[in-house]
Structure 1
Amino acid sequence: MTVPRTDAAAFDRRALHERIAADVRDEIMSGELAPGARLPSTSQLKARFDASSATVQKALQLLKDEGLAVGRAGSAVTVREHRQRTLRPAAYMAPAEAGGSYRWLTEVAEGGTKPRSTLLEVAEVVPPTDVAGVLELADGGTAVVRRQLLSLDGEPVELVASYYPVGIAEGTAITRRRRICGGTPALLSDLGFPPRLSVDRVSARVPTQEQYTILQLPGSLPVLRTLRVVYSDDELPIEATVMVKSGHLYELQYEFTPV
């Protein structure tokens, strides 16, 4: 839908090139512009948004910087192949098979990409307030954190910080700075704490300085922040994970069974 520039400007204070990029970005994310498809031409965008050539080019450059579009000046700009990814959180909850890799690695690899997990830190810390709350820690209580950076085809895509109650993690592989075979779901099951329920809280936020730098974000776009709490038997919280990913590159898919 074309919105008259005067009306749009009255409600949307962003620069015109940012508004143009926002509308085209939404068409890419929704699939209206499929991977490999040509974006509307400069002349089409000029007419649609009552914009100058320079403004349209600034909008297209934003989309290129974000990795959503590719193309050189003077040539057609197309939607980048296999850029947007749909994640299925429910697929990663179950423990991996004996001796197998963490399910995130195997699930993502099935899509033809090369996933990698880099362990950044293992330490006993006072967690963020919301994490401490869901883990039911006392004021000032500590938890063991495992922070990692997930990459696809060499590009950083997600920062993950998983927190575990000290009483569960102490003396186990969770406290060691090395990868856990099969991932922590398998280890927790072996320790007698099988995952029974996972609850996600998802919000869109302005990235912190650390998130902006490590994830190599292209601009002021929001990130998706997920706080996932995993419960074992008797509704015991055994893990709380904070996951941060680029909001413009991902969508989350949740599957439900009617009660």
Structure 2
Amino acid sequence: MLQLGTVDRSDDRPPYKQIADELRSAIDLGRLAPGEKLPSEADLVEHYKVSRMTARQAIQELRSEGLVDAEQGRGVFVRKVAPIRRLASDRFARRHRQDGKAAFIIEAEKSGVQPSVDQIRVSRESPSSFIQERLRLTASDSVVVRARRYLANDIPVETAVSYIPAEIADGTAIAELNTGPGGIYARIEDAGHILDHFTEEVSARMPTPEERKDLQLGASVPVLRVVRTAYDTTGRPVEVCDTIKAAPAYLLEYELPAR
């Protein structure tokens, strides 16, 4: 059973902040495990000798940070998604594509979560100036755009939009809903563009209202934006992928040579 402390009336932090801090610490330390139910408002009121509004504010603090989810009629529970370890040096290894597995599936399996994808949309568009620059295209060129959302244990953790030159994507499964085993990169290589390397730009910010809705984020939860460009062995950029990741769901790991 979770052991709770007391509210320190001499502390500069208001009581609801102290309660939220203690519950947050319990989550961080694993004393409240993913999926475990938090003490109810009534329990917090009785234990801490505070008003129901104070207890409610403490829970709301954790909800806004995306640490807990409220279920109507059942209570408040620790959010179930465990961090997905994203190992940059391994996720795009050719052996994974040859095994018919895309990068997200590899990451999810290694992290012990069940991967799935939904909201798949495929379209043909004129590239924005942002995409033109990265793919070395002109405004008269076309790109095939693939948008999707990734879930871990049925909880949204990432949205991704890929832009592939239509010259490469036309006539392949890239332009279809199901790209087949190994995903987009396997089909790009099938088209004769053997991948050589990738570059990534990583930034952090608060989500837009649409991103917050798609990823089911609390009001104070940031996102990571990762813009990746894939190059073939000739040095040609063959894909740009713009991903928005729920920051609490990911641990980004990079292996860098010391020479």
Question: TM-score scaled by structure 1?
Answer: 0.73
Distance, in Å, in 1 between the alignment partners of 2:219 and 2:183 is: 33
Instruction: Give the counterpart letter for 1:102 in structure 2.
Output: A
Deviation at 1:217, TM superposition (A): 1.7
Q: In structure 2, what is the Cα distance between the partners aligned to 1:18 and 1:234?
A: 56
Task: Give the AA of the match of 2:91.
Answer: Y
CA–CA separation in structure 2 for the residues paired with 1:201 and 1:19: 37
Query: How many angstroms does 1:159 deviate by?
Result: 0.5
Matched, 1:36 2:33: yes
**Corresponding position: 1:192 with 2:192:** yes
> Residues 215-234 of structure 1: matches in 2 within 5 Å?
215-234=215-234
Aligned partner of 1:9 in structure 2 is none
Contact 1:126 1:141 in 2 (8 A): yes
Q: 1:179 to 1:234 in 2, by over 3 A?
A: closer
Counterpart of 1:251? 251
1:90 maps to which residue? 89
Q: What SS class does the counterpart of residue 159 from structure 1 fall into?
A: strand
SS for the counterpart of 1:158 is: strand
Structure 1 residue 194, shift from structure 2 partner:
1.9
Letter matched to residue 198 of structure 2: S
- Hey, what's the Cα distance between the residues in 1 that align with 2:169 and 2:90? 24
Residue in 2 that maps onto 1:165:
165
> Against the structure 1 CA distance between its residues 210 and 16, is the aligned structure 2 distance closer, same or farther, given a 3 Å change threshold?
farther
d(CA) in 2 for partners of 1:195, 1:21: 48
State whether residues 224 and 244 of structure 1, in contact with CA within 8 Å, keep that contact through their aligned partners in structure 2: yes
2:65–2:221: 8 Å Cα contact kept in structure 1? no
Q: Distance in 2 between matches of 1:56 and 1:141?
A: 57
Alpha-carbon distance in 2 for matches of 1:258, 1:20: 45
* Structure 1 residues 197 and 99: CA distance shift in structure 2, 3 A: closer
Change (3 A) 1:172 1:218: same
Which moves more between the two structures, 213-222 or 162-171? Answer: 213-222
Q: Are the equivalent residues in 2 in contact too, given 1:207–1:223 (CA < 8 A)?
A: yes
5+ long unaligned stretches in structure 2: 1-10, 39-43
How many residue pairs are counted as aligned between the two chains? 241
For normalisation by structure 2, the TM-score amounts to 0.73
In structure 2, do the counterparts of structure 1 residues 157 and 126 end up closer, same or farther at CA, with 3 Å as the change threshold?
same
Q: Distance in 2 between matches of 1:22 and 1:236?
A: 50
- Aligned runs of 1:116-131 on 2, under 5 Å? 116-118=116-118, 120-131=120-131
Q: CA deviation at 1:205?
A: 2.3
Shift of 1:188: 1.8
- Aligned-partner SS, 2:158: strand
Letter in 1 for 2:85: T
**Contact (CA 8 Å) 1:84, 1:249: kept in 2 or not?**
yes
Q: Is the 1:35–1:82 contact (alpha carbons within 8 Å) kept by the matching residues of 2?
A: no
Name the amino acid aligned to 1:155: I
Is this contact kept in 1: 2:163–2:241, CA < 8 A? yes
**Alignment match, 2:60:** 61
Q: Which residue in 1 is equivalent to 2:205?
A: 205
Change in Cα spacing, 1:53 to 1:119, as seen in structure 2 (3 Å) is: closer
In 2, Cα distance between the equivalents of 1:138 and 1:24?
Answer: 53
Q: What CA deviation, in whole Å up to 9, does each residue of 1:97-137 have, x standing for no partner?
A: 54523232133123322101225211111344323211112
TM-superposed deviation, 1:33: 6.2
Do the aligned residues in 1 keep the contact of 2:63 with 2:218 (CA within 8 Å)? Answer: no
**What stretches of structure 1 of length at least 5 have no aligned partner?**
7-14
Deviation at 1:208, TM superposition (A): 2.3
1:178 paired with 2:178, answer yes
Cα gap change, 1:151 to 1:110, in 2 (>3 Å): same
- Residue 179 of structure 1, CA deviation: 3.2
Amino acid in the other structure paired with 1:86? R
Q: For 1:90, give the aligned amino acid.
A: S
Write the letter of the residue equivalent to 1:221: V
